[in-house]
Structure 1
Amino acid sequence: MIALLTPEHWKDYELLDCGDFEKLERFGNVVLIRPEPQAVWSKQLPPSEWQNLADIRFQGRSATSGEWAKKNSKTPDRWHITYRNNDIEIKFRLALTSFKHVGIFPEQAVNWDFISSTIKEFSTPQPKVLNLFAYTGGASLVAKAAGADITHVDSIKQVVSWANENQELSGLKDIRWVVEDALKFVKREIKRGKTYNGIILDPPAYGHGPNGEKWKLEDQILEMMNDVANLLDPEEHFMILNTYSLGFSSVIVENLIKDSIKNPHNLETGELYLQAKTGNKLPLGVFGKIKKVRAVNK
């Protein structure tokens, strides 16, 4: 099944417009202009309106780094926003980084909704969930708030510290933080005989582990998926694979899942996108997910 999915109920985030390789976004009360390589079409709003609406604009020195230009010196470098869905409420600390990121990928809210609803369907008490390439912890926090036991793995210590700060802001505790290369961690968990009811993967196209380990998506994702398959609880589980690479399609993700996981239950694949207020859809990665819920005899 191929699907297009975008967040629908997140009031603290809004994509106002996109085009000409940029996006105009509202995070809480702060409006940003950031580069967006996939926005190859024209902007719908005139440049003057972009300028009037934006508080801050990212000015790149290269495709991945640059500086932020503020319209008003009082605009904060750091601020907080909230994600809510039913009884789940998570708070994030956002910040202006030199890599054009602010601390969250808002299109992932679709996956957060899936994670929380699936955990609540499980009959397993406090299901164990593993979040790999976990960044600042959105999926970890949502899973914890839904009642899961979370292990959060990322190779960058500063990012894991940021995730821990988000945990404290959200009034949560006891997430297990691991600073390590994701592939090495998975292999060690297999040797330990560990299993998880949920596994979340959001790997980058390229990356490095804390000890210089190299990650290249197309070279290592099949090995990772085969190892992840050995960690899934056979009776009750979910798995999400999300990729943001211009060379990856949802068909590739579908084939990867079918190749590594025997008879995947409730397989769904497709594109994540953000719906701009002006009408255009901004694609922001492809996903594949499966879900198996244990039948309970009544």
Structure 2
Amino acid sequence: MIQLLTPTHWKDYELIDCGDFEKLERFGNVVLIRPEPQAVWGKTLTDAEWQKRHDIRFKGRSATAGEWIKKNPKTPDRWHIEYKNNDAAIKLRMAMTSFKHVGVFPEQAVNWDYIAQNVKRFKTNKPKVLNLFAYTGGASLIAQSAGADTTHVDSIKQVVTWANENQEISNLKDIRWVVEDALKFVKREIKRGKKYNGIILDPPAYGHGPNGEKWKLEDHITEMMNDVMQLLDPQEHFLILNTYSLGFSSVIVENLIRSANPKVENLEIGELYLQATAGPKLPLGVFGKFYKI
């Protein structure tokens, strides 16, 4: 059965409306307008309402071409938001990057809950969790807050530094930071005989490693899945695969997981979305996840 999942209890985040290739969203007390290529339908609220409610707008549809325009110059360039569930609590630094991102993908809160729940119910003391393509570390922080021994891998030094700042403001410590190509790191861990109780993969459609390594999702994801299965602890584990590529469906993700792990248990597949207060649902990627305890 294909599931549709959305965050439901995040006080510091709200998707207010989306449409006409944009989204109106609140992070803490700051309301942004950003481009959203998935929002092909019309807006629910009026343009006047969008103009009235927003604080900052990113002008330009391209993720690499545009600028942030503040309605009020006093609006901060950086601010903090909080996320908590029954098992973990973290803080995240928000900032306006040149590529329209602000430091978090809010739909991932559904996966954060899954991570925390599994870390808490494992019998293993300090279960080991590996977060690949880990960005600014929301999943890493949640795992650490829930009691895991966490390794965070990303190829971009600046976002790993950002993740470390998030660790500090969350009053956490001892996450292992690794700036490296994810596939290379996994292969080295296999040679070392390492095992992890939890593995999180949130790969981009395209990417580059620190030494020019090229990542293309459809070319490398099968190899990656086959490799990470060798790192999973056979007794207690969970794995999350999340993809944003428009060409990937939840059925493709299911096939990838079953091909790499024919005996998979407790498999869930589906689509992540954000529910706008104004009504529309904004689809934001597909997932596959499973656990064994």
Do they superpose with TM above 0.5? yes
Write out aligned runs for 1:96-111 (5 A): 96-111=96-111
Post-superposition CA distance 1:82-116 (Å, at most 9, x none): 00112421000100001000000000000000000
The aligned counterpart of 2:140 is: 140
Number of residues paired by the alignment?
A: 293
Quick check: 2:63–2:100 contact (8 Å CA) kept in 1?
no
CA distance in 1, matches of 2:125, 2:283: 36
Residue 158 (str. 1) matches residue 126 (str. 2): no
CA distance in 1, matches of 2:283, 2:138: 20
TM-score normalised over the length of structure 1: 0.97
Shift of residue 290 of structure 1?
A: 0.5
CA distance in 2, matches of 1:276, 1:61: 20
Quick check: 2:35–2:61 contact (8 Å CA) kept in 1?
no
Which sits farther off after the overlay, 58-67 or 225-234?
Answer: 58-67
Shift of residue 61 of structure 1?
A: 7.0
1:196 and 1:96, CA in 2 relative to 1: closer, same or farther beyond 3 A? same
The aligned counterpart of 2:32 is: 32
Shift of residue 64 of structure 1?
A: 3.2
Quick check: 2:250–2:270 contact (8 Å CA) kept in 1?
yes
Shift of residue 262 of structure 1?
A: 2.8
Give the SS at the match of 1:151: strand
CA distance in 1, matches of 2:116, 2:62: 37
CA distance in 2, matches of 1:285, 1:62: 19
Which sits farther off after the overlay, 84-93 or 182-191?
Answer: 84-93
CA distance in 2, matches of 1:87, 1:49: 37
1:229 and 1:87, CA in 2 relative to 1: closer, same or farther beyond 3 A? closer
CA distance in 1, matches of 2:171, 2:63: 36
The aligned counterpart of 2:71 is: 71
Shift of residue 63 of structure 1?
A: 4.3
Give the letter for the 1:165 counterpart. E
The aligned counterpart of 1:290 is: 290
The aligned counterpart of 2:3 is: 3
Quick check: 1:267–1:288 contact (8 Å CA) kept in 2?
yes
Residue 129 (str. 1) matches residue 125 (str. 2): no
Quick check: 2:87–2:120 contact (8 Å CA) kept in 1?
no
Amino-acid identity (%): 79
CA distance in 2, matches of 1:64, 1:289: 31
Quick check: 2:14–2:25 contact (8 Å CA) kept in 1?
yes
Shift of residue 198 of structure 1?
A: 0.3
1:63 and 1:174, CA in 2 relative to 1: closer, same or farther beyond 3 A? closer
Quick check: 1:270–1:287 contact (8 Å CA) kept in 2?
yes
The aligned counterpart of 2:56 is: 56
Quick check: 1:61–1:67 contact (8 Å CA) kept in 2?
no
Structure 2 residue runs without a partner (length 5+): none
Structure 1 residue runs without a partner (length 5+): 294-298
Write out aligned runs for 1:1-298 (5 A): 1-60=1-60, 62-293=62-293
CA distance in 1, matches of 2:170, 2:285: 27
Quick check: 2:15–2:24 contact (8 Å CA) kept in 1?
yes
